[in-house]
Amino acid sequence: MPLPLLVFDLDGTLVDTAPDLVDTLNVVFEREGMPPVPYDDARMMIGGGAKAMLVRGLEAEGRAVTSELLDRLFGDFLAYYADHIAVRSRPFPGLIDALDVLATRGHSFAVCTNKLEALSVLLLNELGLVGRFAAICGQDTFGIQKPDPEVLRRTIASAGGTPENAVMIGDSATDIRTAQAAGIPVIAVDFGYSERPVIEFGPDRVISHFTQLPGEISALARA
């Protein structure tokens, strides 16, 4: 049997992007004369893409969310974020070593994220990780996004894999539900941006550090 393709979420799973995303959100809000969103609150707004983060931030500030306002702020957000995408964002501890171990075992990797594809590629390139992934697919790659399982299926196909030989790794209910709907095993990390403990969403495995990932992949294969 082929070794599994490992499909990773990006924000809150591979990379701790919260510092740069929250900074960008608050720069955009400052330009609007709005107070900054506290870091811990804004961190929990990550996961559905930049536009969803803006909506959550506006709602938290009691602002009416019109399509005109949202489109304008979205453009401002993307422009600023693209120029500051890896100022403070870093891979989570242990990621590089885990990828090295898994690659040695013959695994291949892909990214399935609700971040825009171009920003995902830009971030991973800035961090020296882009070449590790056979496919990097965002919310605009296929015009669909998580939790629609089709985006995961298409990401797997783009990476040359099959659903029968793939595992998803993510940090949120959205990632877990996407994998479950696609019939794919899912490992959750508990250090990401989930507002509730990820174990509540029924993943197959939970890890607290990337040093645990190779062992959990092996355990899934044995099961």
Same domain as 58, residue 79: yes
Same domain as 122, residue 31: no
User: What pLDDT does 9 receive?
Assistant: 98
Structural domain ending residue among the three candidates 83, 108, 133: 83
Structural domain ending residue among the three candidates 30, 51, 83: 83
Count how many domains the chain has.
2
Confidence of residue 2 (pLDDT cuts 50, 70, 90): low
Task: Please enumerate in sequence order all residues whose Cβ is within 8 A of that of 17, keeping only pairs 6 or more positions apart, or say none.
Answer: 10, 11, 46, 89, 123
Same domain as 11, residue 27: no
Structural domain ending residue among the three candidates 30, 60, 83: 83
Residue 97 catalytic? no
What pTM value is reported for the model?
A: 0.94
Same domain as 118, residue 72: no
Buried b (16+ CB within 10 A) or exposed e, 62-82: eeeeeeeeeeebbebbbebbe
Tell me the one-letter amino acid at 45.
M
Domain extent for 41: 18-83
Catalytic residue among 9, 16, 20, 23: 9
Measure the CA dihedral 183/223/158/203, to 10°.
50
Tell me the one-letter amino acid at 47.
G
Asked whether 150 and 144 are in contact (CB, 8 A), the reply is yes
Tell me the pLDDT tens digit for each residue of 41-65. 999 899 778 899 999 999 988 888 9
Mapped onto helix, strand or coil, the DSSP state of residue 55 is: helix
Tell me the pLDDT tens digit for each residue of 152-206. 999 999 999 999 999 999 999 999 999 999 999 999 999 999 989 999 999 999 9
